[in-house]
Amino acid sequence: MSPELTESEPLRVAVIGSGPSGFYATEALLKSDLPAAVDMYERLPTPYGLVRSGVAPDHPKLKQAIEVYARIAESPAFRFFGNVNVGEDLSVEELKQAYHAVIFTSGAQTDRKLGIAGEDLPGSHTATEFVGWYNGHPDFRDREFDLSCDTAVVIGQGNVAADVSRILAKTVDELKHTDIAEHALEVLAESKVREIWVVGRRGPAQAKFTSKELKEFGDLADCVPVIDPVELELGESSRAELEDKQNAGGRKVFELFQSFTQSPAAGKPRRIHFTFRKSPVELLGRARLEAVRLEHNRLSGEPFRQVAEGTGEFMQLDCGILFRSIGYRGVPVPGVPFDDKRGVIPNTEGRVVDGRSPVPQLYVAGWIKRGPTGIIGTNRADSVATVQSLLGDAAALKSLGQRSGAEETSRLLHERGIRYVSFSDWAKIDHSEIERGKPKGKPREKYTRTQEMLGLLD
Ligand code: NAP
């Protein structure tokens, strides 16, 4: 007979990753009818994943989600283990021994590739690198972005491309009271970039910006959005897409594009150009990036299923820096099945599968489960669904017997010389960042090096 769960011997779950889906999974577990305890493991010393290091510094409202997560973390049944890399510092097998279940919520940490010649030339960067750099992510602290050129190109027309372009377009005054990393503000202050081209492979009816994000380009201090009206001509399928009742968002975006055909320059020195139906086919340059070769596309297919096809006509756009913002990708965790084509952990309703067979004890939620789509709140329902699957398996999980949880893993971490960061340690880092920000009128000045953060704790 399987032992009953109690407050002192609860269902022990390890959550891997401390972004929105990790906290929503934690919340769902702690609110469930079963006595449960959650230990959250995070590779960085700091929690909150993309809310800390992805959400743009000039979007502070989106960061308010952190207040919800901090409240979840107050539960006595929750523990945080920052600075622990699962797969390296602790193996998945060790976690399976220490816990009844493990939920991977590690997000999508890398970028999709364009797969074209010249992609790795100096001056060609991924959006991930740039976003991580201006947000003070330790992995990207030492990246260098040469903004001494006149023209920057951003490939892709989703909200990450919008963030990257907007940060390039803003003045220092528009950014200096945000939590942007100091090293990034210093480089952006010297930027010579005047022309920003945002390139979409499909048309204006298929751009993935949300209207709220796109609208901001009309309100910048020193930059105007520009669109050649010819670019907004639509084929039949695209017109049908915009007329669709369900597509109010697409119509709003298109109306904003129309308004950008008439933006008054008003003496603003920077311009952001939106251009459509063009795919990069090669990045050109001798020692570093000098231009991107684009192929003109035509769209074909039914409404909402249109694909871009090359026309065989090409153009060249000179540029000194380029950002590939064509979507994120998950990275594999050693010891866990991985779908390399989709960049996710294969699963059925959040239960990790190997081929068709479920892998006992392993679950997945968020971007590493479904791919990099949706806004922060989308992850709540996703994590709740995974936790429902897990609770549905409670009888099998309980039959594994008592699990020692962090008692066992903290022993292993001590043995391996890993200085893990508890939630109260994080509170010290958090407090110190906020204090450092005060004299500059910033909500915080982030620490951008792991050693610096650990140095605050001992
Ligand atoms: P996304 O919305 O999927 O946009 C990716 C863009 O890259 C699309 O325009 C896509 O075009 C294009 N693309 C993909 N492959 C390409 C290729 N081979 N060549 C040229 N273009 C290519 O992804 P994202 O911008 O990375 O955003 C990820 C998620 O985070 C989204 O759900 C987004 O809304 C969310 N997010 C939200 C906010 C916010 O709320 N403020 C901020 C940032 C991110 P096709 O449409 O043709 O595939």
Tens of pLDDT along 192-247? 999 999 999 999 999 999 999 999 999 999 999 999 999 999 999 999 999 999 99
Superfamily of segment(s) 112-328: FAD/NAD(P)-binding domain (3.50.50.60)
pLDDT, average across residues 441-450: 98
Q: Tokens 């008439």 appear where? A: 262
Q: Which of 366, 383, 281, 373 is nearest to 328 (CA)?
A: 373
- pLDDT at residue 1 in the model: 44
pLDDT, average across residues 392-405: 95
Ligand 1 touching residue 322 (CB < 6 A): no
- Domain spans in the chain, listed from the N-terminal domain onward: 11-109+330-421, 112-328
Confidence of residue 264 (pLDDT cuts 50, 70, 90): confident
Ligand 1 touching residue 379 (CB < 6 A): no
Share the mean pLDDT of the chain: 96
Helix (H) or strand (E) holding 370: helix 367-370
Contacts of 168-171 spanning 24+ positions with Cβ under 8 A: 168/193, 168/196, 169/196, 169/217, 169/220, 169/222, 169/223, 169/270, 169/272, 170/58, 170/220, 170/221, 170/222, 170/223, 171/221, 171/222
CATH for the stretch 11-109+330-421: 3.40.50.720
Ligand 1 touching residue 374 (CB < 6 A): yes
Angstrom distance (rounded) from CA 186 to CA 406: 42
pTM equals: 0.96
| Protein residue closest via CA to atom 13 of ligand 1 | 326
pLDDT at residue 263 is higher than 90: no
Confidence of residue 8 (pLDDT cuts 50, 70, 90): confident
Ligand 1 touching residue 413 (CB < 6 A): no
| Protein residue closest via CA to atom 34 of ligand 1 | 159
- pLDDT at residue 109 in the model: 87
Q: Which of 119, 158, 120 is nearest to 328 (CA)?
A: 158
Helix (H) or strand (E) holding 362: strand 357-364
Phi-psi map region of 301: left, alpha, beta (phi>0 left; psi -120 to 50 alpha): left
Q: Is the dihedral of CA 407, 412, 415, 418 positive or negative?
A: negative
Ligand 1 touching residue 160 (CB < 6 A): yes
Angstrom distance (rounded) from CA 324 to CA 322: 7
Q: Which of 385, 384, 343 is nearest to 367 (CA)?
A: 343
Ligand 1 touching residue 200 (CB < 6 A): yes
Which of 55, 129, 165, 201 to mutate to test ligand 1, by most ligand atoms within 8 A of the CB atom? 201
